[in-house]
């Protein structure tokens, strides 16, 4: 079976370091890589809006000498006729050598990766994960700060639905001495699985606060995010929360001189344009680092020979449906309801697709 990258933890810390090293070499010596993927085809299938992620993947493939075939929106694909994610992945496997997908259903990437017979990369599955944005974020931190250890990282905005936030916390939690200050309105705090299965399991120091100004002087990195309008079921809640944080020059007065300001983009109005001129603002460079990291990942997946899938966690099948209305298992007919055991002691199970928590599900085998 081909390798799929659904989540940033599908890459080891050693692999992340290697990707950053290769991406940096690609930045310094692009000619060396200009034909390295000649004859290979990347397919991008995006069922949610995207500028950076899709174009940076496509640009990445062209910079490696490969070609691209693309479905830029759902209405121009057979999904609009009712085709399943799994069938889409099976078909793409006949046309391309590597497959990148963005889909609003949480856990859709797990399904696509299992069904594809070519390497698969998740470019965002609903509010769940966005591992390649994290690759861009990691290269940004490495180049702009020089290291990952002992950093105080403030993450501000929509921590509940912001998939880039979940993937970033997951990645940075693996480096020693990292501390998080999680800044959000009460309703938009990080999901339970991030708190319990990443921060608490790995004993990562973190604080939760609503106050950006009070947190500012402590931060080495400020990672701003937009409030994710498309994930709100009630638009009135979005309107109430949308302007929760607006970073401006006044709020930056107490920030460290060498703090960096990151943002996965797109920005709505959570960072005033005046801040763009501040040397601490690195969010436009972050988009370029994203292209180099995607180049490095594509090259790795197309050339690696010795990949062995890690041992899967204990899983059970159940008749109980996942409760998450955005989970792929709610809409994809052929899927079985499978749960993975994530905490033996407390018997905590999570949906294999979207990772929503389940009480001890009824087993059918």
Residue 166 interacting with ligand NCD (CB under 6 A):
no
Residue 107 or residue 124: which is nearer to ligand NCD going by CB? 124
- Distance in Å from the first CA to the final CA of the chain: 25
Copy the structure tokens of residue 233: 């079921």
| Residues facing 101 on adjacent strands | 45, 122
Residues numbered 96 to 125 that lie near ligand NCD (CB under 6 A) are: 124
Residue 52 interacting with ligand NCD (CB under 6 A):
yes
Residues in the chain: 365
For residue 216, the 8-state DSSP code is G
Residue 157 interacting with ligand NCD (CB under 6 A):
no
Which range, of 190-198, 216-224, 264-272, 333-341, touches ligand NCD by CB under 6 A? Answer: 264-272
**Residue 164 C-beta: closest distance to ligand NCD, Å:** 5
**Residue 295 C-beta: closest distance to ligand NCD, Å:** 16
Residue 156 or residue 316: which is nearer to ligand NCD going by CB? 156
CA 208/CA 204 separation, integer angstroms: 13
**363 burial level (CB within 10 Å; 0-12, 13-18, 19+):** exposed
Residue 56 or residue 318: which is nearer to ligand NCD going by CB? 56
Q: Is 308 a catalytic residue?
A: no
Q: Give the H or E element holding residue 153.
A: strand 152-156
Residue 130 interacting with ligand NCD (CB under 6 A):
yes
**Residue 257 C-beta: closest distance to ligand NCD, Å:** 27
Binding mask 271-300 for ligand NCD (x = CB under 6 A): ------------------------------
Residue 140 interacting with ligand NCD (CB under 6 A):
no
Which SS3 state, helix, strand or coil, does residue 251 take? helix
Active-site residue, from 3, 54, 63, 102: 102
Judged by CB under 6 A, the number of residues near ligand NCD is 12
Q: How many CB atoms lie within 10 A of CB 32?
A: 10
Q: What is the DSSP string of 332-345?
A: -TT--EEEEEEETT
Q: Is 130 a catalytic residue?
A: yes
Which range, of 3-11, 169-177, 261-269, 350-358, touches ligand NCD by CB under 6 A? Answer: 261-269
Active-site residue, from 63, 105, 128, 130: 130
Q: Is 54 a catalytic residue?
A: no
**Residue 14 C-beta: closest distance to ligand NCD, Å:** 25
- Answer for which of 44, 88, 122, 133 binds ligand NCD (CB under 6 A) is 133
**Residue 263 C-beta: closest distance to ligand NCD, Å:** 8
How far, in Å, are 20, 142, 147, 331 from residue 17 at the CA level? 5, 10, 11, 37
Residue 242 interacting with ligand NCD (CB under 6 A):
no
Q: Is 195 a catalytic residue?
A: no
How far, in Å, are 17, 258, 308, 315 from residue 219 at the CA level? 24, 10, 39, 40
**280 burial level (CB within 10 Å; 0-12, 13-18, 19+):** middle
Residue 133 or residue 173: which is nearer to ligand NCD going by CB? 133
Residues 116 and 337: beta-carbon distance below 8 Å: no
Residues numbered 333 to 352 that lie near ligand NCD (CB under 6 A) are: none
Residue 40 or residue 294: which is nearer to ligand NCD going by CB? 294
Q: Is 263 a catalytic residue?
A: no
Tokens 């990942």 belong to: 297
- Residue 146: partners with Cβ closer than 8 Å, 6 or more residues away: none
**44 burial level (CB within 10 Å; 0-12, 13-18, 19+):** buried
CA 34/CA 54 separation, integer angstroms: 20
- Residue 81: partners with Cβ closer than 8 Å, 6 or more residues away: none
- Answer for which of 3, 63, 105, 163 binds ligand NCD (CB under 6 A) is 163
Residue 265 interacting with ligand NCD (CB under 6 A):
yes
Residues marked active site are found at 52-53, 81, 102, 130
Task: Enumerate binding residues for ligand NCD (CB under 6 A).
Answer: 52-53, 124, 130, 133, 163-164, 225-226, 264-266
């Amino acid at each position: 079976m081909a390798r799929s990258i659904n989540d940033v933890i599908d890459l080891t810390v050693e692999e992340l370091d290697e990707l950053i090293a290769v991406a940096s070499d690609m930045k310094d010596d692009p000619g060396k890589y200009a034909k390295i993927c000649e004859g290979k085809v990347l397919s991008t299938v995006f069922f949610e809006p995207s500028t950076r992620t899709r174009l940076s993947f496509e640009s990445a493939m062209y910079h490696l000498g490969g070609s691209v075939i693309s479905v830029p929106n759902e209405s121009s694909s057979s999904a609009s006729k009712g085709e399943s994610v799994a069938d889409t992945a099976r078909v793409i496997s006949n046309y391309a050598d590597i497959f990148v997908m963005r889909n609003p259903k949480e856990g859709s990437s797990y399904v696509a990766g299992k069904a594809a017979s070519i390497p698969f990369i998740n470019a965002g599955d609903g509010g769940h994960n966005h591992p390649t944005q994290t690759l861009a974020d990691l290269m940004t931190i490495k180049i702009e700060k020089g290291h990952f250890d002992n950093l105080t990282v403030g993450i501000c905005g929509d921590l509940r639905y912001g998939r880039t936030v979940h993937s970033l916390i997951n990645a940075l939690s693996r480096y020693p001495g990292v501390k998080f200050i999680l800044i959000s309105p009460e309703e938009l705090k990080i999901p339970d699985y991030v708190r319990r299965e990443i921060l608490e399991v790995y004993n990562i120091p973190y604080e939760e606060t609503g106050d950006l100004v009070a947190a500012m002087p402590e931060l080495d990195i400020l990672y701003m995010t937009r409030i994710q309008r498309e994930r709100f079921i009630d638009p009135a809640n979005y309107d109430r929360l949308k302007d929760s944080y607006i970073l401006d020059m006044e709020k930056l007065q107490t920030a460290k001189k060498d703090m960096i300001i990151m943002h996965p983009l797109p920005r709505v109005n959570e960072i005033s344009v005046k801040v763009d001129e501040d040397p601490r603002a690195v969010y436009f460079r972050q988009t370029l680092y994203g292209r180099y990291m995607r180049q490095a990942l594509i090259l790795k997946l197309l050339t690696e020979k010795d990949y062995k899938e890690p041992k899967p966690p204990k899983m059970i099948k159940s008749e109980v449906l996942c409760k998450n209305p955005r989970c792929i298992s709610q809409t994809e007919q052929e899927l079985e309801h499978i749960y993975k055991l994530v905490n033996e002691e407390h018997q905590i199970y999570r949906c294999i697709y979207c990772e929503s928590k389940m009480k001890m599900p009824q087993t059918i085998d």
